[in-house]
Amino acid sequence: MYKSLLRPLLFRLDPELAHEITVEWLSRAGRFSVTKSLLNQLYGSRVPELPVELMGIHFPGPVGLAAGLDKEARCIRALSALGFGHLELGTVTPKPQSGNPKPRMFRIPEHQAIVNRMGFNSGGIKPFLENIARTEKTVPLGINLGKNAITPIEHAAEDYITGLKQLYLYADYFTINISSPNTKNLRDLQSEDALDALLDRLMTMRQELADEFSRTVPVAVKIAPDIDNVTIPSLAGLLVQHGIDAVIATNTTIDHSAIAGSQYADEDGGMSGAPLKHRANEVVKLLYKELAGKVPVIGVGGIFSSEDAWQRLLAGAEMVQIYTGLIYHGPGIIGEIVSGLAQRVEQSGASTLQEAVRRARQSATQYN
């Protein structure tokens, strides 16, 4: 139904308008048991159980929603009914901000890609907090934190700390977004000295909050695909040194060479979708090698099928997230990916997905 009916209609609209309509519909659908039940019947009920244990959290499935779709935590009920193993909400900034000037989102259908330069458009923490506080959750919720554009980069830690403090009671985990290409100088926080200082402050605050609330909320860091390979060992070392609970790889890329010649190839912004798959796989593989199991990897970028997800897991990820694949293939993609992974588990004779992946990695290593 999505590919034959809804997608053609949505793709006739401006991409950001289509996004806004989708969010509004999902928000309304989540308020009524009949529509939630319908979504579950159409999609969620077709997703087999395939749990993953990660960061001390029980995830009912290995496919989560990447940040960017539900920026204000308006669609938790409806999205949960689709069969996601977790939802990453946001990016949310402390203060409201409109983001970059429009137009700022562009589809490239021939490459199953999207270019965006949204710029952390956010209603701020207040409406986000109100929405998440009144919603009963059924799957783990991650909260993706960003900094306001007006905050100088040298004071970025204050914005992330504000998010940690105000949303601590509602997050199953936090993601520190230092890799969006659409906020000026944000990626400078990935440099060794800046990242060291930032993580030191954030993890100190996390410990203070854990002591206060007798609950430790995991903290993940989301990195860019455009990071130089030679800097990955030092970055991985900092993640281990500061006790980061996971790394999410990767965000969108500023390398548009894979879509050269397309209508929007020269638009500024980060590209997501199928062309990102190879580089995202490569970054996951490099991180996995350097981290040596000390910090788990969550894979995102260019995942459109169970084979894509399986290859990301073999590269080193423990679970995956999708977003652009959802836009091009609809909610049915969740069940398709998880069903394909479940078949892999059954064929391997393993009892869990993680065990099946470990066996496959070992076999690949021995073969090589």
What tokens were used for 59? 């995830």
CA–CA separation, 6 and 293 (whole Å): 42
Is the CB of residue 303 less than 8 Å from the CB of residue 281? no
* pLDDT > 90: percent of the chain: 98
* Residue 180 a catalytic site member: yes
Report, as an integer, the average pLDDT of 70-96: 98
d(CA 28, CA 34) in angstroms, rounded, equals 11
DSSP per residue over 50-63, as a string? --EEETTEEESSSE
Q: Is the peptide bond before 51 cis (omega within 30 degrees of 0)?
A: no
User: Which residue type occupies 97?
Assistant: Q
Cα(311)–Cα(302) distance, integer angstroms: 11
What one-letter code names the amino acid at 357?
Answer: V
For residues 151-158, give the mean pLDDT.
98
- pLDDT over 70 at 162, yes or no: yes
Beta-ladder partners of 145: 92, 176
Mean pLDDT of 158-162: 98
Give the pLDDT band of residue 318 (cuts 50, 70, 90).
very high
Helices (H), the chain: 7-10, 15-29, 33-42, 76-80, 125-133, 156-167, 192-213, 232-241, 277-291, 306-315, 324-329, 332-348, 353-367
Q: Which two tokens stand for residue 38?
A: 């319908």
Residue type for 304, please? F
Tell me what the mean pLDDT of segment 318-332 comes to: 98
Return the C-alpha torsion angle 256, 262, 267, 273, nearest 10: -50
Catalytic residue among 180, 262, 272, 306: 180
Indicate the pLDDT class of residue 1, thresholds 50, 70 and 90. confident
Q: What is the pLDDT of residue 368?
A: 58
What ranges do the domains of the chain cover?
A: 2-338
Q: Which two tokens stand for residue 327?
A: 């836009």
Q: How far is CA 127 from CA 71, 214, 346, in A?
A: 10, 26, 44
Q: How far is CA 272 from the centre of its chain?
A: 12
More confident residue, 41 or 368: 41
Query: Is the per-residue pLDDT at 312 higher than 70?
Result: yes
Average pLDDT over residues 275-287: 98
- Answer for the pair 59, 140: CB distance below 8 angstroms, yes or no: yes
Tokens at 85, concatenated:
């193993």
For 35-48, write each residue's pLDDT tens digit: 999 999 999 999 99
Mean pLDDT of 271-290: 98
Residue 365 has a pLDDT of 77
Rounded alpha-carbon distances, angstroms, from residue 323 to 55, 69, 163, 297: 22, 7, 23, 17
Return the pLDDT at 288: 98
* Position 76 pLDDT exceeds 70: yes
pLDDT in tens, 130-139: 999 999 999 9
Amino acid at 263: Q
* pLDDT tens-digit readout, 228-270: 999 999 999 999 999 999 999 999 999 999 999 999 999 999 9
Three-class DSSP category at 265 = coil
Encoding tokens for residue 100? Answer: 């970059």
Look over the chain and give the mean of its residue pLDDT values, rounded to a whole number: 97
HSE on the CB side for 125, CA within 13 Å?
A: 20
pLDDT band for position 364 (50/70/90)? Answer: confident
Q: 52 pairs with which residues across the strands?
A: 59
Asked if the model's pLDDT at residue 214 lies above 70, the reply is: yes
- Which overall architecture, per CATH, does domain 2-338 show? Alpha-Beta Barrel (3.20)
**49 CB-contact burial (10 Å; exposed 0-12 / middle 13-18 / buried 19+):** exposed
Average pLDDT in the 191-197 region?
98
